[in-house]
Amino acid sequence: MTTTASPPGQPGLQPVIRTSIAGASVADLARTHGTPLYVYDAEMIRRRCRDLAAWDTVRFAQKACSNLAVLALMRSEGVVVDAVSTGEIHRALAAGYAPHAAPGGGGGLPPVHPIVYTADIFDRESLEAVAKLGIHVNCGSADMIEQLAERVPGAGITLRVNPGFGHGHSQKTNTGGEGSKHGIWHEEIPDVLRRAEWAGLAVTGLHMHIGSGADLVHLAEVAGSLERVALEIGRSLTTISAGGGLPVPYKPGEVHADLSGYFTLWDAVRKRLEDRFGHRLRLEIEPGRYLTAESGFVITEVRAVKKQGARKYLLVDAGFNTLARPVLYGSYHPMSLCPADPRAPATGAEEVAVGGPLCESGDIFTQTDGGFVSTRALPAAHVGDLLVIEIAGAYGFVMASNYNSKPLPAEVLVDGGVARLVRRRQTPEDLVRGETV
């Protein structure tokens, strides 16, 4: 990989010229697997998993990136998973996770559940799955309690509590407060505990999550709220979860959060509760984007360069059907260029807007929240060059669609410089499979 120099004070600036990903040639990846293409760096995933080794349990919110090869890599790192649907339960099982907690937790800790089903409702399929497989449930609505008790009498459950406030990189990713549908409202806990007791279920876990991409200042507020609710629940608790939402640096100048200080804060909460309850508590964290965002790249080919008045556009073969975050949230993703001719001299940067092929005006990768088109400084590009959209490993492929009848892209995992196809590209036949005329 070659890079341009980072401006002073911006050591995290992504390269604008990129020729490799995790030791694999960008051009070779595109030539072998076509574009658009998702590529994941296995070593980056391992690194982010190990960043959180201080926690008793790291539970991956697999909705961020649910490819089976990624899940299997998580499992090899000792990471367990959260599932929000029957399909995600099936994915976890296919990746080698057991449905049941192994006996004994080690060091006096309670057993860890390999898979936890977290949702605000049971649809009929998910209730059948958790009952049949014995999967632990994190209840986000009180009505789930009686529904589970009918199928699994005497089960232990976790409560997902809405603390009354939330935060996130977008209002659409804020999962706390009155504007969020998620979790059991904190003032309803006494009534919910009575309902659980009447139903014969034990509340063994407590979970709070206020939003995806929140900063640590807001995430730290959860600790105090969780501690207060834990004292209401009492000694039946064996596990507390800090939820997820760990921030990831996307923009130049942004840095990684102080994870050591964050763990210390939560460990102190755990210890105070242990002193109060008289037994050990398992301390979980539930990251999604933190574990996979930086590992992911979208390789897409420049197919047209055009001017619309004073603004220059690069149009590529990936669209919001490939990566939806910019159109949904106005999200920023670093971008770099891989020239089709590696011998071509690097040229100065120019401001361009980057868009896709879809029949939608919102199909723009360089847009701000609200849908306003912006530009990005990139080297002069030509048709046939490859554009790499970076930090795309979370809420990327999992939110892709067949809009405009576009096939889903392939996915590749690169480990030690060796690229492995982990999902084949959809074909036109795949698009209409299951339909009739």
Q: Pairing relation of β-strands 37-41 and 296-308?
A: antiparallel
**What is the spatial distance between Cα 290 and Cα 242, in angstroms, rounded to a whole number?**
14
| Contact yes or no for 411/38 (Cβ under 8 A) | yes
Active-site residue among 49, 65, 139, 359? 359
Tokens of 237: 């608790």
Residue 433 backbone phi and psi in degrees, to 5 = -60, 130
- 409 DSSP assignment: P
Tokens of 240: 């507390």
| 145: CB partners within 8 A, 6+ apart | 139, 157, 192, 195, 196, 199, 201
Residue type, 88: E
| Contact yes or no for 130/83 (Cβ under 8 A) | no
- 243 DSSP assignment: -
**What is the spatial distance between Cα 208 and Cα 60, in angstroms, rounded to a whole number?**
15
Within 30-141, strands assigned E span 37-41, 57-61, 80-83, 115-119, 136-139
- Within 10 angstroms of residue 136's Cβ, the number of other Cβ atoms is 23
Nearest to 373 by CA among 385, 356, 388, 394: 356
**What is the spatial distance between Cα 222 and Cα 177, in angstroms, rounded to a whole number?**
12
Distances in whole angstroms, Cα of residue 352 to Cα of each of 135, 251, 277: 49, 17, 59
Within 322-434, strands assigned E span 335-338, 349-355, 367-368, 372-373, 376-379, 386-390, 410-415, 418-423
**What is the spatial distance between Cα 321 and Cα 328, in angstroms, rounded to a whole number?**
11
139 is catalytic: no
**What is the spatial distance between Cα 273 and Cα 183, in angstroms, rounded to a whole number?**
22
**What is the spatial distance between Cα 436 and Cα 221, in angstroms, rounded to a whole number?**
53
- For the annotated catalytic residues, the residue numbers are 359
